Each structure stands twice: as structure tokens, then as C-alpha cells.
Amino acid sequence: MDLRFLRSFFANPMRMGAAFPSGPLLAGQITDPIDFARARVIVELGPGTGAFTRMLEQRAHPACRVLALELDPDLAVYVAARYPRVEVINAGAQNLGEVLAERGLGQVDAVVSGLPFANFSAHQQTSVVDAVLAALRPGGAFVSYSFVHAQMLPTSWRFRRNLKRIFGRLDIYPVLFNAPPALVYSCVA
């Protein structure tokens, strides 16, 4: 097992949110809402060691541009080396608009997130979701997740409420065979 993720977790557990990378079932559920035949720009927020990145790289249309924003510089270097088709940027998710503008990109078709929103303050949650909403084209997908055990936290309740309020609809899918079990949140702009 690659220990990069575990080391990053111990260095900053609130930023990482989990001690181990997401499993393939969760990665599949996270990427399923994306229309890969039509998507031309997909963004991943917080790729970690690349559990979702691998699926995005495999499923994205050859003409699709895949960007990944990773705040941890060591993980950003690792993911960039491991997934050469993906453009990895060492930046925070709230800077999504600036990252897209620097690359001459307008709106995106999908944003997937591995960020631990249950660990975020109200301001952090809002700034990231606002950046995502501003970046998504009409009909674009935003897909995130939360661990089942985090559902008792008020920060998780707030995040779900805000997604429903902002997007109008929130679909939730359980992924019980992940360690730990998770809930996938899927929204459409």
C-alpha cells in the first residue's frame, strides 16, 4: 500500500478527512453522473493520491481536458506523475475560477470532489460550493461524498442543506462497501 495518503493524513487530518484513499466502488459512484461522451472539461477537487483521478483519466473522452486541484504540494506532484493526462494544479478549491481563467477555460461540464466538507467551516463550505457553481455550465454535474459516520455532525447537515438550497435537488447514493462506508452527493447545475 502507498503510504503517501496516510502520511498526509497524519500531517493534517482535518484537511485530508480520511486515513486511507477511497475505494474503486466509491470512485465509480463518484464518476457515474458524468456524461463522459459529451464532457470536454472535468475538474477534480482534492485528488489525494488519485482514487477518482484514475477513473476520470480512464473514462474521459480523448478530447476532454481533466484538471485536478490539490492543496498538498507533495500529493500534487505524486498525482501529476502518476496520471500524465491530468493537469494537476497546486491550488485550493476556492480558487477554481482563477485557475480556469488562467487557462482560458470558461464553464466546465463536471466537478468531482474528494474534499472533506464535514471538516470545513461554514465559510469554507460556501466559498468552495460558490466557486463550483460559478464554474459549472448549465446541466453540469457536481459530485461529492461524505462518510456515513460523519452524518451526525452539524457540519454535514449544513453541507447537505446548502447543496439542496443552491442546486435545488440533491441525490444521495450509499456506497456501503467502501472503507469507511460513504454517501455520494450528486447535484446538477
CATH of the domain at 145: 3.40.50.150
The burial of 180, by beta-carbon neighbours within 10 Å (0-12 exposed, 13-18 middle, 19 or more buried), is given as: middle
Q: What integer pLDDT is reported at residue 7 of this predicted model?
A: 52
What is the Cα–Cα distance from 32 to 10, expressed in whole angstroms?
A: 31
**pLDDT above 90 for 121:** yes
Q: What integer pLDDT is reported at residue 23 of this predicted model?
A: 82
Query: Do residues 130 and 152 lie in contact, with contact meaning Cβ atoms separated by under 8 Å?
Result: no
Q: What percent of the chain has pLDDT over 90?
A: 87
What is the Cα–Cα distance from 79 to 153, expressed in whole angstroms?
A: 30
Average pLDDT over every residue of 52-56: 97
Number of domains in the chain: 1
Q: Among all chains, which residue has been given the C-alpha cell 460559478?
A: 134
Structural domain boundaries, residue 124: 4-188
What global pTM score does this model have? 0.88
Q: How confident is the model at residue 179 (pLDDT cuts 50, 70, 90)?
A: confident
What is the Cα–Cα distance from 93 to 132, expressed in whole angstroms?
A: 8
The burial of 81, by beta-carbon neighbours within 10 Å (0-12 exposed, 13-18 middle, 19 or more buried), is given as: exposed
